[in-house]
């Protein structure tokens, strides 16, 4: 349960799941007729069944802050344990909400409603076994779609000859430095700075990836991760995200000034 699980952290896309949940529950209740809805007239179904659907969708949306907290707590990483916890929370909250709708909306004056144990075992759990896989599949599908989009956006920092390269999303890359016969890729993952060695030269990498900016014979940077430039005694340094720094040589200074839009005295 410690491995990563496909997940989309963008909340607005989870409103799509909530909308799909609303429609699915309405159709499920309308055609299968649990919860005594078979005793309702057609017009009554159109009144009461959307309430169940709305309550379930609202329950899903209410849990989104918990989802955001779990995502932040795990350093913007989503695990199978987090997913199972979300589904469990939805199931428990759904039980409370659906039971309330049943007692106070569908049969408010019924002297002998279903007991809680019967309601759970004979009605709620069978319905949940139909609804929950739809939610799980929708959430998983969103996560996989996001992963595929990220994979399509990845760049490859090739290794020389038969040596293995390294793939990452452009926005993960901070800078690349030379390290003898290797280059060291400095990047972020789950909001943490990481490093990866590749057998290649900085010049070869610069040729393969012209969108990188050469600032020194030992440094290539991702200009999108640049924060600011400062100078001391005529020597310039670039500060990147996570406050990582690299030197700027006079050879590359004109290109760096033009690319990063800063001036020198």
**What does the pLDDT average to over 57-65?**
96
Q: What is the DSSP letter of 79?
A: B
227 membership: H or E segment, kind and range: strand 226-232
Residue 33 lies in a domain: yes
At which of 102, 129, 152 does a domain end? 152
Residues in contact with 121: Cβ distance below 8 Å, sequence separation at least 6, in sequence order: none
Model confidence at 72: pLDDT above 70: yes
Model confidence at 262: pLDDT above 80: no
Helical spans, DSSP H, in 63-201: 64-73, 80-101, 116-118, 125-152
**What does the pLDDT average to over 115-141?**
93
Q: Are residues 115 and 49 in the same domain?
A: yes
Confidence of residue 265 (pLDDT cuts 50, 70, 90): low
Cβ atoms 176, 161 nearer than 8 A: no
In whole numbers, what is the pLDDT of the chain averaged over residues?
90
The domain that holds 171 is classified in CATH as 2.40.50.1020
Half-sphere exposure of 9 (CA within 13 A, CB side): 14
Q: What are residue 247's DSSP bridge partners?
A: 237
Give the torsion sign (CA, 30, 36, 42, 47): negative
Confidence of residue 37 (pLDDT cuts 50, 70, 90): low
Position 157 scores a pLDDT of 95
Q: Which of 221, 222, 165 is nearest to 196 (CA)?
A: 165
Q: Which of 135, 172, 134, 132 is nearest to 151 (CA)?
A: 172
Q: Are residues 144 and 216 in the same domain?
A: no
Q: Are residues 131 and 244 in the same domain?
A: no
Q: What is the pLDDT of residues 223-261, one digit of tens each?
A: 999 999 998 888 899 999 999 999 999 999 999 999 998
Residue 95 lies in a domain: yes
Position 94 scores a pLDDT of 95
Position 231 scores a pLDDT of 87
Count the Cβ atoms, other than its own, within 10 Å of residue 88.
11
Confidence of residue 163 (pLDDT cuts 50, 70, 90): confident
47 membership: H or E segment, kind and range: helix 42-62
Residue 218 lies in a domain: yes
Q: Are residues 137 and 224 in the same domain?
A: no
Q: Which domain holds residue 182?
A: 154-260
Q: Which residue has the higher pLDDT, 111 or 240?
A: 240
Confidence of residue 123 (pLDDT cuts 50, 70, 90): confident
Domain count, the chain: 2
Position 33 scores a pLDDT of 67
Cβ atoms 44, 83 nearer than 8 A: no
Residues in contact with 162: Cβ distance below 8 Å, sequence separation at least 6, in sequence order: none
Residues in contact with 168: Cβ distance below 8 Å, sequence separation at least 6, in sequence order: 154, 155, 157, 185, 187
**What does the pLDDT average to over 128-145?**
94
List the single range of 4-18, 31-45, 99-113, 165-179 with lowest mean pLDDT. 31-45
CA distances from 141 to 16, 145, 210 (A): 12, 6, 35
Count the Cβ atoms, other than its own, within 10 Å of residue 43.
8
What is the model's pTM? 0.73
Position 170 scores a pLDDT of 94
Model confidence at 40: pLDDT above 90: no
**What does the pLDDT average to over 176-201?**
93
């Amino acid at each position: 349960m410690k491995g990563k699980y496909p997940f989309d952290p963008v909340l607005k896309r989870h409103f799509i799941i909530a909308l799909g949940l609303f429609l699915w529950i309405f159709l499920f209740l309308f055609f299968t007729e649990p919860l005594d809805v078979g005793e309702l007239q057609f017009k009554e179904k159109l009144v009461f069944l959307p309430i169940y659907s709305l309550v379930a969708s609202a329950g899903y949306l209410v849990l989104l802050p918990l989802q955001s907290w779990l995502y932040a707590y795990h350093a913007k990483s989503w695990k199978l344990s987090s997913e199972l916890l979300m589904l469990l929370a939805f199931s428990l909250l759904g039980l409370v909400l659906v039971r309330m709708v049943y007692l106070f909306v569908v049969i408010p004056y019924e002297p002998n409603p279903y007991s809680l144990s019967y309601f759970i075992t004979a009605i709620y759990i069978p319905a949940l076994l139909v609804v929950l896989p739809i939610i799980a599949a929708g959430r998983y599908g969103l996560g996989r779609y996001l992963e595929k989009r990220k994979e399509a956006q990845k760049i490859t920092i090739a290794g020389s000859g038969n040596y293995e390269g390294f793939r990452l999303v452009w926005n993960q890359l901070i800078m690349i430095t030379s390290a003898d016969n290797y280059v060291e890729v400095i990047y972020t993952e789950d909001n943490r700075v990481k490093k990866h060695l590749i057998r290649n030269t900085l010049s070869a990498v610069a040729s393969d990836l012209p969108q990188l900016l050469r600032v020194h014979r030992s440094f290539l940077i991702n200009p999108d991760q640049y924060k600011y430039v400062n100078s001391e005694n005529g020597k310039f340094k670039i500060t990147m995200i996570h406050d990582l720094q690299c030197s700027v040589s006079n050879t590359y200074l004109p290109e760096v000034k033009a690319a990063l839009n800063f001036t020198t005295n």
